[in-house]
Amino acid sequence: MRYTKNDLNDQSILITGGAGFIGSNLAFYFQNNHPDAKVVILDSFRSGETLSNGNLKSFGHFKNLLGFNGEIISGDINDKDLLLNLKLNYKFDYIFHEAAISDTTALEQDLMVKTNVNAYKDLLDLAVAHNANMIYASSAATYGNAESPQRVGREAPNNVYGFSKLSMDNLSREYMKKTDIKIVGLRYFNVYGPHEYFKNTTASMVLQFGHQLLAGKNPRLFEGSDKILRDFIYIGDIIQANVKAMQPKDSGIYNVGTGKARSFQDIVDILQKELGTSLPCEYIPNPFVGSYQFHTEADIATTREALGYEPTFEMEDGIKAYVSEIKRIFEEEVK
């Protein structure tokens, strides 16, 4: 990583969505590596509130923060009074914005745009007021069915989530022109790793296949899964990209993937090896043909150049690093 343990002494960091998958991993990165930095987490946490598709509105969970000793604020980024309080009573040096309606199947276009786009503008204004660098979560969903490798500038979102993230990117570019703070958007590809379990059905297929195998169930894959390819990226490389984005060469929008496309069949085969199972796969028809990405692969050339980012986890390495946590979650939460 670019920082030594002393570089962030007395620096203040806000992480929105800090009880979620990526936000909580960021929180522990700073706690473990920069204990003298002040980390403040803002998260709406989960309630019983659901979207029209039946999925939870918020995936934030206290268990993702067990062991975290920084400040935690329960609140919604749509709450302007809350953001005013943050503006007046805090002074942040860095803002990591991970909070969002992140369910790609959500149908509430109004809530999606309000939360992902309008509230982000308020957070950008907070960053400008504090002279804080902004690092935020964009998404590979901005590309829709654009051909591989996906490159910034070739966006074609096919759902409101992807549209909202592209709108965030467009807004960021406007702020880049008129402010001196650094603004970096990171387009995450298919992320997997610890702390994703509480995303429920939107957790990665690495976790879902792992739990199928541990339950003794045959893994169920779509027909032709050896030809359905994705850029799967382990959380360790996502954290690396975020940390390096704190002091980029240039503000901008950058892909964060491995630059390699791997298949769903690869996931199952690697998991079976790591878990010591040999259950036969069941292949089912793919009901999403026509509205399904069959190949994603991040072009990371500009990410390497601007951030000094270099992926370090092949899928085999990522799953090997993750498998003990997959087992722990299965024992404590699933069985």
Instruction: Write out the two tokens for 220.
Output: 């169920």
Cβ atoms within 10 Å of 9's Cβ, excluding its own: 11
Containing 244, the helix (H) or strand (E) segment is: helix 235-244
Q: Are strands 71-74 and 38-43 parallel, antiparallel or unpaired?
A: parallel
Q: Could you list the active site residues?
A: 161, 199
Task: Write down the residue that tokens 């992480």 correspond to.
Answer: 15
CA distance 274 to 254: 32
Backbone angles phi, psi at 84, to 5 degrees: -65, -40
- Residue 115 and residue 147 in contact, taking contact as beta carbons nearer than 8 Å: no
Task: Write down the residue that tokens 């022109």 correspond to.
Answer: 177
Task: Write down the residue that tokens 């504090």 correspond to.
Answer: 130
**Single-letter amino acid code for the residue at 335:** K
CA distance 267 to 94: 35
CA distance 158 to 163: 7
Residue 244 — left, alpha, or beta (φ > 0 → left; ψ -120 to 50 → alpha)?
Answer: alpha
CA distance 62 to 136: 22
- Residue 212 and residue 325 in contact, taking contact as beta carbons nearer than 8 Å: no
